[in-house]
Amino acid sequence: MDDRELLAQAVELAQRCPPSETAFSVGALVVAADGTVLAEGWSRQRDPKDHAEEAALATLDVVPPGATVYSSLEPCSARASRPRTCTQLILAAGITRAVFAWREPSLFVEGEGAEQLRAAGVEVVELPELADAAREPNGHLLGR
């Protein structure tokens, strides 16, 4: 599978999120270098404070070298609900590549996840052609 297909899977996972008035609905995958899906997660999967990347990474004891995180939304760089951002969790896990569809709008925080990941040496790929699909489960927050 290529980046677009894997990211489309992550975008689909966002449909599983319980709706929230204070957080985005996001889906994420962690994928090994050989394309094997290692973990999936979505916002509020096990706990109302769960972010998608956090939920996916929490299911793995070890992240193999060369892994990629796919997220429907740019990984968060600031959050009020937990001490570590998804950007920090991705870096701590040793993820070397991040692919996302939709830049975080400034509804809750100013998103700088892509910039922070790039500054730390992570390859960041944005596929904006999937952004509309990523926005879909968040329509209630975006006034649509």
Please identify which of the residues 5, 21, 53, 115 carries the catalytic annotation.
53
Rounded to a whole number of angstroms, the distance between the first and last alpha carbons of the chain is 32
Reading the chain (144 residues) residue by residue, the pLDDT tens digits are: 799 999 999 999 999 998 888 888 999 999 999 999 999 999 999 999 999 999 999 999 999 999 999 999 999 998 878 889 999 999 999 999 999 998 876 666 667 889 999 999 999 999 999 999 998 998 878 775
Residues 6+ apart with CB under 8 A from 25: 14, 15, 17, 19, 42, 43, 137, 138
Decide the pairing of beta strands 68-73 and 37-42. unpaired
What distance in Å separates the CA atoms of residue 66 and residue 96, rounded to the nearest whole number? 6
Q: Where are the domains of the chain?
A: 3-17+29-142
Q: How many CB atoms lie within 10 A of CB 125?
A: 13
Q: Is 115 a catalytic residue?
A: no
- CATH superfamily, domain 3-17+29-142, is Cytidine Deaminase, domain 2 (3.40.140.10)
Whether 84 contacts 56, CB under 8 Å? no
- 87-to-15, 52, 118, 138 alpha-carbon distances in Å: 22, 12, 10, 21
Chain position carrying tokens 């290692």: 38
* 72 backbone dihedrals φ, ψ, rounded to 5°: -65, -25
Give me the residue label for tokens 């979505």.
42
- CB atoms closer than 10 angstroms to residue 3: 15
